Amino acid sequence: MKSLAYIAFGFLLVFTSSAPMVTASAQAASTFSCADVTEIPQVECEALVALYTSTNGPGWGNHSNWLVTNTPGNWFGVTVTFGNVTSIQLVSNQLTGIIPAQLGNLTSLQQLNLMGNLLSGSIPPELGNLSSLGELKLLGNQLSGNIPSQLGNLVNLGILNLSFNQLSGNIPSGLGNLTSLEQLTLSRNQLNGNIPPQLGNLVSLTYLDLSYNQLSGSIPSELGNLTSLEQLT
């Protein structure tokens, strides 16, 4: 039931854009300069601009204030706290294109939620630089390629949901480093190979969903160490 809820929510699209808004937003993007932004560091501003331009920002369902004002804290879906970007929430907002590597420069980011869009390409390994990240939700897109081993560097991560994509290859053993992880959802992909025994290190895990992949081999006995686990699928 939980997986069905994810897909229903993840693929919800909101159609609110109009042709005049797209034109106006495209014009704003051509004149916007991060040099005029003082609310956040320029490198963080450039990361947001890269997200906008690489995912067809003018075509988003809601792109209010993006590249229009010099205060990213009032751009739709962006939260700024004490001078740094701490949250990006662009759920079911008609993002298309690729996730830019520049997001790895948002080192104060605590939440990144891009679920329910049409994002394609691979997950940038640079996301492994987001040492403050507590939630990473990319479910319900069209992402492909391997799960970057660098995600194993996200030691503060509590939720990792990459389900309902087209990811392939092995589950990185480095995910076993994420001892703060409470929810790991990799279902509905094309992952193969063995379940890494290192997942038995995730002592805080309450929810583990690896269903609907092409995994092989036996279930590691190390998963018996997950004493906090409430659901295994």
Distance, in Å, from the CA atom of 89 to the CA atom of 114, rounded to the nearest integer, reads: 6
CA separation, residue 82 to residues 46, 73, 214, 224 (Å): 18, 10, 44, 42
What distance in Å separates the CA atoms of residue 229 and residue 59, rounded to the nearest whole number? 41
Instruction: For residues 151 and 156, give the distance between their C-alpha atoms in angstroms, rounded to a whole number.
Output: 11
Look at strands 84-89 and 78-81 and give their pairing.
Answer: antiparallel
* Residue-wise pLDDT tens digits, 163-203: 999 999 999 999 999 999 999 999 999 999 999 999 999 99
Q: What is the pLDDT of residues 78-106, one digit of tens each?
A: 999 999 999 999 999 999 999 999 999 99
Tell whether the model's pLDDT for residue 20 goes beyond 90. Answer: no
What percent of the chain clears pLDDT 90, i.e. is strictly above it?
Answer: 87
pLDDT in tens, 128-163: 999 999 999 999 999 999 999 999 999 999 999 999
How far apart are the C-alpha atoms of 224 and 69, rounded to whole Å?
52
